[in-house]
Amino acid sequence: MKRGLQWPIGVAAVLVLAILGNIYVAVRANSDPTVAIEPDYYQKAVRFDADQALRRRSERLGWRVTLTATRTSATDAEVVAVLVDSTGAVVRGAVVRIAARAVVRSNDVFSATAIEAGDRYLAAVPVTRGGLWDFDVEAVRGGERFVARQRLDLPERP
């Protein structure tokens, strides 16, 4: 090889390696399942005031929810919601929806409508892993609407 070509070939090799490194990092960053992207973030921002007002109305309503979740299989959990009003009486006749998302994989949201069973509401929610999960609860009865969020730690195995 001629002595004058070593320098340009070295520069070209460094540039090629830098480009390949950047491509690798971009591919890895876009395929990481732990990164959550809020779908339609603009609409969430537009609804921010309405969402905050709903949370304040829920607090004034005085309802409280207690959630427990038990893994029933490697892919499912039974979520039990006990909903009480401001006097401690059980709230009956509500439509209760539960959305669950693993904190580590918050792009995956699993939803279920709970079935009223006596003084509690039961929902089967598909869960893919143990660990911390955020549960969003929405209860609607007549003109009353209640929302809450709770974080539970699910065991790795049933």
Domain residue spans of the chain:
1-32, 41-154
Who's near 97: CB < 8 A, 6+ residues apart? 111, 112, 113, 114, 137, 138, 139
Question: Mean of the pLDDT values across residues 14-41?
Answer: 86
Whether the pLDDT of residue 66 is over 90: the answer is: yes
Which pLDDT band, with edges at 50, 70 and 90, does 1 fall under?
Answer: low
pLDDT of the residue at 47: 93
**C-alpha span between 93 and 104 (Å, rounded):** 34
pLDDT of the residue at 104: 84
Whether the pLDDT of residue 158 is over 70: the answer is: no
pLDDT of the residue at 105: 79
Mean pLDDT computed over every residue of the chain: 89
pLDDT of the residue at 30: 80
pLDDT of the residue at 2: 64
Question: Can you list the alpha helix ranges (DSSP code H) found in 33-91?
Answer: 41-46, 48-61
What pTM did the predictor assign? Answer: 0.75
Question: Mean of the pLDDT values across residues 53-78?
Answer: 91
pLDDT by residue (tens digit) across 100-140? 988 887 778 899 999 999 999 999 998 878 889 999 999 99
Name the fold adopted by 41-154: Immunoglobulin-like (2.60.40)
Q: Residue 92 to residues 10, 47, 97, 135: CA-CA distances in angstroms?
A: 75, 29, 14, 20
Contact 109, 100 (CB under 8 A): yes
**C-alpha span between 65 and 21 (Å, rounded):** 50
